[in-house]
Amino acid sequence: MALRLRLRRELLRRTVLRRIAPFWLLLCAGAAAAQERPAVVVNPGGKQTYRAALQRFADHSPRPAGAEEFRDALGRALEFSQVFELVNPRAFLGPETTESLDKPIVCPDWSQIGADALVQGQLSRDPSLLTANFRVWDPSRCATLVQKSYRQPATADPNALAKRIADDVVEAFVGVRGVSATEIAFVSNRKGNGEIFVMAADGSGQRAATANRSINNFPSWSPDGDAIVYTSYRQANRPLLFISSRGRGRPGRLLPRLPAERAEYRGVFSPKGDRVALVLSDEGAAEIYSARPDGSDLQRLTRHRSIDVSPTWSPDGSRIAFVSDRTGAPQVYVMDSGGGEPRRLTFQGSYNTNPTWSPDGKWIAYESRIGGQFDLWLIDPEGQVNQPIVQHPRNDEGPSWAPNSRMLAFSSRRFGRAEICVVDLSGEKVLRLTQNAGDNTAPAWGPFPR
């Protein structure tokens, strides 16, 4: 039957091709007005990274300092994107320090040294603010791709500014914003018990976000990036959802209006932040619910005697994927965010869990156990395409999407203890972010900074 359908489709395709191709080709013939020449078909070679020349930013402040460090930070962030490599400044034919952002550059100076991008800029400081103006050139076209300015409190880390600029440079060249300025929350037991930690997306600046000496797990960000929701046993020896905030809002229980009677797990904000999906469990049954962040308007979304866990929102907030063992083994299901009959999504593998919907909506990443090892897989929300992204004899678990949907963070035991790693969608380059400091698990990649 399937074969017949396939044949029919094939026939249809051929018919369409046969009828349309001649017209199309005629059009091409007219447009090209070239003689009967064959087309030269070029497919990619080994070059995957653009070359960026970074000028040292001019620093007009009374006490200039740190322009070299700023350039280093910008360079590291560009390399982290895996879209750029750097041109050694010693090879520059043009000035190594930006002279002016208003003057045109001598483009051949930069294209001759193989620079696909030239980044120039200037830093200015006053007592309260650090401002970076920058301009990105495409020397081959001698055109400006981006010109922008960022400012931040003078006391803040200048590296953050450098990363914002790097992410813009990435966007100018591939159309997708870089993620070096984002952060990843995760769980680490490096100090004995599982606490929530936060680090930059490149693994730098690891710091604890909780220190309650209890058990804490399943961090998840608020959509504005100002808060992290997590599950903790810090109160009443029962798992409840807590929120840790960056200054705005009070830390404490996430759903204060919900009586602390049932176990709460794995709260995740809806993309708009107006609701929280979570797992509530009593007497063994675990079901998916959603509520307002204050705990009001609690709605039960699943109704089955099985265990339903691990909710994740579609980026438009209309659907929720989750895990259920209703057919005997854990599999991923999708339902409307208001509840309703779930549709089973995964059929391969005997143990599929931890689904997470990509911010662009195209994929659901999950972990699947096949042959005794957990690997990361991608499936599209309609279940038509299902394929592994990372495979390794040691377990890879807990995928979390970068906000640009181009990379995944996950926890891997390939180095012995569980470590947080990131990988791009080709699955080829696995970058390790944590280094043998206890077990590091449950990464949650935060949103773009505002």
Q: Binders of other proteins among 195-214, rule CB under 8 A? A: none
Burial-class residue 227 by CB neighbours within 10 Å (0-12, 13-18, 19+).
buried
| Nearest distance from C-beta of residue 288 to other proteins, angstroms | 12
| Nearest distance from C-beta of residue 1 to other proteins, angstroms | 11
Question: Which residue number, 66 or 239, has a Cβ lying nearer to other proteins?
Answer: 239
Q: What does the alpha-carbon distance between residue 433 and residue 203 come to, in Å, rounded to a whole number? A: 4
Residue 13 within binding range of other proteins, rule CB under 8 A: yes
Burial-class residue 434 by CB neighbours within 10 Å (0-12, 13-18, 19+).
buried
Concatenate the DSSP letters of all residues of 294-339 into one string.
TS-S-EE----SS-EEEEEE-TTSSEEEEEE-TTSS-EEEEEETTE
DSSP code, position 77: H
Residue 253 within binding range of other proteins, rule CB under 8 A: no
Q: Binders of other proteins among 309-348, rule CB under 8 A? A: 309-310, 323, 325, 327-330, 347-348
Residue 297 within binding range of other proteins, rule CB under 8 A: no
- In this structure, what are the phi and psi dihedrals at residue 117, rounded to the nearest 5 degrees? -135, 140
Residue 17 within binding range of other proteins, rule CB under 8 A: yes
3-state secondary structure 117-155: EEEEEEEEECCCEEEEEEEEEECCCCEEEEEEEEEEECC
Question: Which residue number, 128 or 384, has a Cβ lying nearer to other proteins?
Answer: 384
Q: Are 152 and 166 spatial neighbours (Cβ–Cβ below 8 Å)?
A: no
Read off the tokens for 194: 């599982």
| Nearest distance from C-beta of residue 308 to other proteins, angstroms | 10
| Nearest distance from C-beta of residue 356 to other proteins, angstroms | 13
Among 149, 217, 235, 245, binds other proteins (CB under 8 A): 217
Q: Binders of other proteins among 153-172, rule CB under 8 A? A: none
> Which residue is listed with tokens 């897989």?
377
| Nearest distance from C-beta of residue 414 to other proteins, angstroms | 19
Question: Which residue number, 41 or 155, has a Cβ lying nearer to other proteins?
Answer: 41
Segment contacting other proteins by CB under 8 A, of 87-95, 124-132, 219-227, 349-357? 349-357
Q: What does the alpha-carbon distance between residue 30 and residue 27 come to, in Å, rounded to a whole number? A: 5
Q: What does the alpha-carbon distance between residue 38 and residue 247 come to, in Å, rounded to a whole number? A: 64
Residue 101 within binding range of other proteins, rule CB under 8 A: no
Q: Binders of other proteins among 360-389, rule CB under 8 A? A: 362, 369-372, 378, 380, 383-389
Residue 296 within binding range of other proteins, rule CB under 8 A: no
- Number of residues near other proteins (by CB under 8 A): 100
DSSP code, position 424: E
Q: Binders of other proteins among 46-65, rule CB under 8 A? A: 47-50
Among 8, 12, 22, 340, binds other proteins (CB under 8 A): 22
